[in-house]
Each structure stands twice: as structure tokens, then as C-alpha cells.
Structure 1
């Protein structure tokens, strides 16, 4: 096995803190943009739908902020339920998730 291959495999096991922060910043920016768009839509959209969308976006923003804290305290990428590693592929899709897939399924 070449040195390059083992570095690639190691990299795939965990996101670096820098990569995690970049992904979380993108998520935060996206959700804030969504909130602004809903606010600007005003009366064009039904009030109940706007309220539900805002609540969902705010919930995700809270999860993103919690993920920033996990990066800072060194627990990012570790499942809160089983303490196992969260696969990097899952973190690439949901960078703010605190759970591995099996634990997320059990919680639902």
C-alpha cells in the first residue's frame, strides 16, 4: 500500500476541523438565506406555511450552532448516543448531525 493511499484512507475516516467548519458555515449561510427569502416573500405566501418553514430552518440553525460547539470541544464526528465515529460520508451530507445512521434510526 502506498503512502498516498493510506493518507487518503485516513482522511476519509474523519473530516478535519477546517473542513467541518467550512461545511457548517455553508449550512448556516444557506439557512440564513432561506430565512431572508421567506421574510421577503411577505404576503405572497400563506402565513402558516411561512411559520412552519421558519421553525424548521431555525431548528436546523440551532443544530448547526451545536455542531460548531462540538468542533470546538473535540466531539464533532462522534455519535452522541453510541460514542462511535460518524462516517465522513454522512457528515458530508449532514455536517451538523450528532448521530450515526443506526442511532438516528433508533431515535426516530
Structure 2
């Protein structure tokens, strides 16, 4: 089903798994930072709360990317990685280089 060369798939899988490891480390760092605030000073507490909002947003984005990567790995295992989930057209290798977890071709991308 995939249009990518078979010898390219292990490299792409390794790329996705490496990104998973990066995200996992980053998300744990964010979690640790969010749990570490102990300030009793109002100014510092206000600053920490602002930072927490940013960290929470970054964490949400990271978790969304994790879901996309897990879905991409499932498509890899199913043999449909590199095929648009909307129109079934091949996803260009250049697009996968930039967005390895994308399920969409350029024309179907939101």
C-alpha cells in the first residue's frame, strides 16, 4: 500500500521513535517544572502562573504530537505509512521529511 521504498521505512521508523524519546523527555521536564513551584511571594507566584500557562500549552502540543507519532507508527506497521488517510494518494517523501508523522498529503492537509 505504501509508495515509499521498503529500505526507507526503517529509517523513518527510527526517526519517529527518536522524536518520541525527545518528546517524552521534554514532557517529563515540563511536568517536573509545573510541580516544583513553591513561591510564597505574590509577584513570583504571578510570574510562575504565567509560565505555567505557557508550559501547559507546550505540554498539550507535545501530547498531541505524541498521538500523531503513535498513529504514524501504527500506519507503518499496517503498511499504510506514506499514504494520505483522506484521499489515499502517496505523501511526498519531502513532506514526510519535514513532517514525519503527517497523515495527509499536501492537498488534504488542514
Which TM class, normalised by the smaller chain length? Answer: 0.7 to 0.9
In the superposition, the TM-score normalised over structure 1's length comes to 0.77
1:59 aligns with 2:64: yes
- In structure 2, distance between residues paired with 1:39 and 1:30: 14
- In structure 2, distance between residues paired with 1:65 and 1:93: 17
- In structure 1, distance between residues paired with 2:105 and 2:22: 23
Larger Rg, first or second structure (1 or 2): 2
1:14 to 4, 25, 44: 4
- Deviation, 1:37, is 2.2
Farther off after superposition, 45-54 or 92-101: 45-54
1:30 to 22, 27, 30: 22
2:81 to 44, 62, 76: 76
Figure out how many residues of one structure are paired with residues of the other and give that number: 93
The structure that is helix-richer by fraction is: 1
- In structure 2, distance between residues paired with 1:27 and 1:94: 11
In the superposition, the TM-score normalised over structure 2's length comes to 0.75
Map 1:66-105; keep pairs closer than 5 Å.
66-104=71-109
Q: Which runs of at least 4 in structure 1 moved beyond 4 Å after TM superposition?
A: none
Aligned-residue RMSD, C-alpha: 1.7
